[in-house]
Amino acid sequence: MSKTVITFGTFDVLHIGHLRILERSKALGDRLVVGVSSDALNQSKKARDAVFDQEQRMQLVGALKVVDDVFLEESLELKGHYITEHQADILVMGDDWAGKFDHFGELCSVVYLPRTPSVSTTAIIERIAAP
């Protein structure tokens, strides 16, 4: 039976760490659905505005060949709802969240993947902004 993988993130200033986690997520199943954090959710999580707005981030992530569908993640509280709505079999999160989503094990498998070292949106913004 075909397996659906779901993952979440802001995916601002798209970089190689984003592509790799999406590729590794897709490799765990047949279909990859990505919840892209809304501008408001990103602001509440990271206390700064995203460089690219939610529509542009969704378009960029959705254009990647490993991504089958994208939707807007409007609240962290709705993860269980999104998992059910998209009939996900596997939830993938970066290992910066290790253990935090184990309770969704009732709904689907929960997998934490290691982050790609030495790259992040924050580091890229800081590097570009540096004098």
Chain residues binding ligand CTP by CB under 6 A are 9-12, 17-18, 21, 46, 93-94, 96, 115-116, 119-122
Minimal distance, residue 83 CB to ligand CTP, in Å: 15
Residue 93 vs residues 1, 98, 112, 127, 129: alpha-carbon distances, Å: 23, 8, 5, 26, 29
Q: By C-beta, is 1 or 24 nearer to ligand CTP? A: 24
Diameter of the chain measured on Cα atoms: 53
Minimum distance, C-beta of residue 34 to ligand CTP, in the bound complex (Å): 9
Taking the complex as a whole, the smallest distance from the CB of residue 2 to ligand CTP amounts, in Å, to 23
Q: If we measure between CA atoms, which residue out of 18, 69, 77 comes closest to residue 45? A: 77
The residue among 1 and 129 lying less far from ligand CTP, judged by its C-beta, is 129
Element (H, E) at 57: helix 54-62
- CA separation for the pair 96, 100 (Å, rounded): 9
State which residue, 1 or 118, has the beta carbon closest to ligand CTP.
118
